Structures are given as structure tokens and as C-alpha cells.
Amino acid sequence: MKRSLFAALSVIFILTVAACGNRPYMTVNGKVITVSEFNKAVEDILPPEEERFPGIEEQAKSMVESQFIRETVVEQLQQEYQIQLEDEEIDQIYNYFVLSARRYPTLEIAEELFPYYERKTKEEVRQMTADALLQNKLIETIYADTYQKPTEDQVRSWYDERKEDFFTVPKCYYVSQLFVTKPVEEEVTEEVIEGEITEENADGTEETVGIVEGVEETVEEVVEETAAEKLLKELEADIAKIDSEKAFMKTAAKYMKDNPYFDRKDYKANRGFVYITENTKDVDDLLKDVPNGGVSAVYDYSDYNAYIVFYVYSMIPEHTIELDQIRAFAEIETGFQLNQEAVRQFNEKIAAADVVYNEADRLAAEEEIILEEEEIVLPPEDSPVVDDGIDDSVMETETDDAGTGEETAAETVAE
């Protein structure tokens, strides 16, 4: 298949990094951030090329610049104040991030899915939570004269207020899904509509002076019953033969060719979980008797005009994330609420960093990348245009997003 522009630019960047990568992009309090470091950080946060919108690259660059400034200042302050982090505290921040902020039902499932949903490893996610803990420890240390440490009652109160909404995990199923859209046709109906023609009088009132008629078209998608019945019979015959996870994925590959989130070489990219709530009781009825490693019957998902089949890895019962699992985070969040002035002063300290942008070197590096791109990618002017017959479009797939619930102290400090 033709290599995408994103992949081509990645190769170009690798080819040119040796030539320009060590040039300074910016310095923060005397620490040099190179062009290669900066470019890599930008690429790491950009979505796939087909999901990018105009201006997203500039937004990413701005975010990365702010990130380098904050990380550099925090690292220098850690050395100055000799701040040490305890593994147990990092684990508790990590637990909160994974189990509440990201709503994974268990740590084991989260760590299995991180490479696909978070695009990070467990170690990278843990480092991110350690950074949040470090910033809050710095605030507590630098402004020790005025910092109010939360009491046990305050921490417990903070937890109890959020226990039901954020720390109670409903029953859920850990599954892979086979999603098959039913064939449809469009049905166009016409409706005659009437409207009044009015004129405004001198005194501001309106007067009807005529009637206008028109036709309004309504387009509806209607399932082709014969085709849908044929598809259903074919699907039911296929799932009856499934006796393993590998067989399920092979069947899914047959029906999900256009799903960008599914890779037949890596079945975990299709894994996820379904929480059981008032709105998903029908899914619970479908899955409650399916054993681990079993396949559900066909579920008629009428809202999306599709059939769904689930392969069940496990059922996770409703449970509560206890305070001791996330105590360090609860203390940070409670302390944040009590020490708004200290947080403001810390952010001002970050903003006051001595930052110098090396515009000339940065622009020169970008020009070299553009020249290299033209040399490698662009065809000669007189070369014929060749149609490779490959459709580069990608079908978008809707996914569930449970949300994070509320803004955290770590997120606010990082703004």
C-alpha cells in the first residue's frame, strides 16, 4: 500500500535529524532543548495524519514548548530543594489516574490496553503521575510557611463526597466486539409546505400579502430487509464455528475490514469494556450467561442499524476504589483546594523562566527538512501522474468515552 504522508514525513525527519537535530530549538534557564527533542515531542502528541485538523500542528508546538518549560523548571527546583518521591505515593497517584480518571475497571486491563488507548507504556503513565506528585511536593516545600496541610477529616470528606460518582465502578464486561453495519437504502419522501409572505407597515405591524407553496424532501435510511436477513444468516453461521479467541478475530477481520481501530495482526487493538448501567441492561441480559472465552449471540443494535457480537474475556463485578488506594492523590487534591495562593505563585515561578528561542537555527532546520522532503518525495516536473488505485480514505468509528469526571489539581497546576 502507498505510504501515507505522515509516514513519509517521519522518514524525512529521521534522515535529516543527524544534520540538524542537535541544533538548539530553545533554552530554558540555560538548559538547551534541541530541534530533534522538540520535533519528537510534537510528533508524539499529534494524532494520525487522517485525524488532524487545520492548525493542530501549531497547537501541538505551543503545548510542547509549555511542557518543556514546565518540566525543565520543575527538574531544576527538584534538585534545588532535594525532593524525593516514595514509590507508594506514586502508585496511589497512578491508581487514581488509571481507575478513576481513565475509568479502567482494573489495573491489569489498563496496563494491557495502554499501548493502544493511551499510546503509552505503564512506565510512561507512571512517570506522568510521578511528575504531578513532584509538582505538588514542590509547592508544599517552597511555600512551607503558609502551606496548609489537609487533616484526615478533610481528606475523608473529600473522598466521601466523590465516592459514589467517581470511585464506585459499575459491573462491566471485558470484551472484543464484532460490529457489522446492516445494508441500507435511502427513501426520499416529499411534503408540500405552505408559508406566508408578509410586509411591514409604516407603524411597524406586519400584514399578510400572499401565500407561497413549496416541497420539502425528507431522506431516511431504510434497511433492505432481504439483504439484512441474508447478512444475519451468514453471521450466525460464522459465529457458530468460533471456538477460540483466534477464531473470533479471524471472523471479525472478515466483517471489519474498514475499521481503523482493528488490526487482524493484533487483536488487543479491538479490546474494550462495556459498563452495565440503566441504559445497558439489555447488554447485561445478553452477556450474563456467556462464560469467559465465550461468544455472545447476535445483538441487534437498532440505534446504529448494526449487528454486534461480543467475545467475552471476563466479567468484573461492581466494586469500590478505597481511599487507601488513592490516598496520596486525595491529599494532593484537598491540599490544592486549601492552598490556591501557593499554586498561583508556583505557576508564576514557572512563567518567569528565562526562555530564549533560537529562531535562526530553528528556521534553518525546518528549511533543511523541507528541502529533504522535496528531494525524496516530489516527482520530477515532467513525470506522468500515476493513479495507484488505492483509496487512502479511512472510515471513522465511534467509540465510548467515559470521561474524566472532574478537573484535578495536577491538571490545574499543569495549565
- 163-183 per-position pLDDT tens digit: 999 999 999 999 998 888 888
Residue 36 CA to residue 46 CA, distance in Å, equals: 16
pLDDT of residue 273 exceeding 70, the answer is: yes
- Per-domain boundaries in the chain: 5-169+322-414, 173-183+224-317, 187-223
- pLDDT higher than threshold 60 for residue 94: yes
Q: What is the structure's pLDDT at 264?
A: 53
Angle at 413 between CA 411 and CA 414, to 5 degrees: 65
In this prediction, residue 212 carries a pLDDT of 66
Which contacts of 81-88 are long-range, i.e. CB under 8 A and separated by 24 or more positions? 81/138, 81/141, 81/142, 83/134, 83/137, 83/138, 83/141, 85/130, 85/133, 85/134, 85/137, 88/328
Which one, of 94, 42, 85, 30, lies nearest residue 67 by Cα?
Answer: 42
Q: Cα separations (Å) of 154 from 117, 159, 364?
A: 34, 9, 55
> Looking at domain 173-183+224-317, which CATH architecture does it have?
Roll (3.10)
Residue type, 325: Q
**Residue 349 grid coordinates:** 515561578
Q: What's the alpha-carbon Rg for the chain, to the nearest Å?
A: 28
Question: Distance between CA atoms of 311 and 308, rounded to whole angstroms?
Answer: 10
What percent of the chain is modeled with pLDDT above 70? 74
Q: What percent of the chain has pLDDT over 90?
A: 47
What digits encode the pLDDT tens for the residues 133-149? 999 999 999 999 999 99
Q: Is the pLDDT of residue 109 over 80?
A: yes
351 band by pLDDT with thresholds 50, 70 and 90: very high
Least confident of 242-251, 275-284, 354-363: 354-363
Mean pLDDT of the chain: 79
- Cα separation, 334 vs 149, in Å, equals 9
